[in-house]
């Protein structure tokens, strides 16, 4: 049996913000997300929408234009990892960036993420870790670190859920 396979190259001439794509992800709504060295791009099959950092930086937005990767949690939030070890969180339902900490600490640096069914964990760079939960249409988060007595060290290497 022969198959006709159609391929198409998507570049800046099609609306992609940068030709260096680091990661590609398809979300639960069907959008394709391209992580590039110059912004995050959402592709609907016809056109691109580019997300760049907010120059003022007071409201949640894309933390840095050099995007490493994207993943989605169980609640329909995209978690965007950037080169400056900061995460951004994008609400697919409301079509906007949100403060995932619940306390305006979204500029804290974390290098790694673990998505679990009941929480999102961020950690890395000797800052301990942060557990993020979403309940009743609101984010809550807790910081675990040496300074507040919840960890013996801030050097977290990985997070796993025990049974």
DSSP letter at 74 equals T
* pLDDT value of position 57: 64
Torsion, Cα 119 124 126 132, to 10 degrees, reads -20
Q: What's the mean pLDDT when you consider all of the chain?
A: 94
- Please write the tens of the pLDDT for every residue from 35-44: 999 999 999 9
Do strands 138-144 and 129-135 pair parallel, antiparallel, or not at all (unpaired)?
antiparallel
Q: Where are the domains of the chain?
A: 1-98, 102-163
CATH code for the domain defined by 1-98: 2.40.10
Q: Please state the pTM of the whole predicted model.
A: 0.92
- Please write the tens of the pLDDT for every residue from 143-152: 999 999 999 9
- Please write the tens of the pLDDT for every residue from 56-98: 767 899 999 999 999 999 999 999 999 999 999 999 999 999 9
* pLDDT value of position 142: 95
In the β-sheet with 21-26, what is the strand arrangement from edge to edge? 21-26, 32-36, 39-43, 48-51
Between CA 69 and CA 115 the distance in angstroms is: 14
Per-residue pLDDT at 163 exceeds 80: no
Q: Residue 12: helix, strand or coil by DSSP?
A: helix
């Amino acid at each position: 049996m022969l198959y006709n396979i159609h391929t198409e190259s998507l570049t800046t001439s099609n609306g992609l913000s940068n030709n260096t794509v680091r990661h590609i992800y398809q979300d639960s709504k069907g959008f394709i997300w391209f992580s590039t060295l110059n912004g995050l791009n959402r592709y609907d099959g016809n056109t691109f929408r580019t997300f760049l950092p907010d120059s003022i930086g007071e409201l949640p937005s894309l933390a840095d234009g050099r995007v490493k990767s994207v993943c989605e949690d169980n609640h329909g939030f995209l978690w965007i990892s950037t080169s400056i070890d900061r995460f951004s969180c994008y609400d697919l339902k409301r079509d906007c960036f949100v403060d995932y900490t619940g306390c305006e600490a979204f500029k804290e640096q974390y290098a790694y993420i673990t998505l679990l069914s009941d929480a999102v964990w961020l950690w890395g760079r000797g800052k301990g870790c942060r557990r993020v939960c979403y309940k009743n249409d609101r984010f809550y988060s807790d910081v675990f670190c040496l300074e507040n007595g919840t960890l013996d060290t801030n050097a977290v290497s990985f997070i796993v859920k025990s049974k």
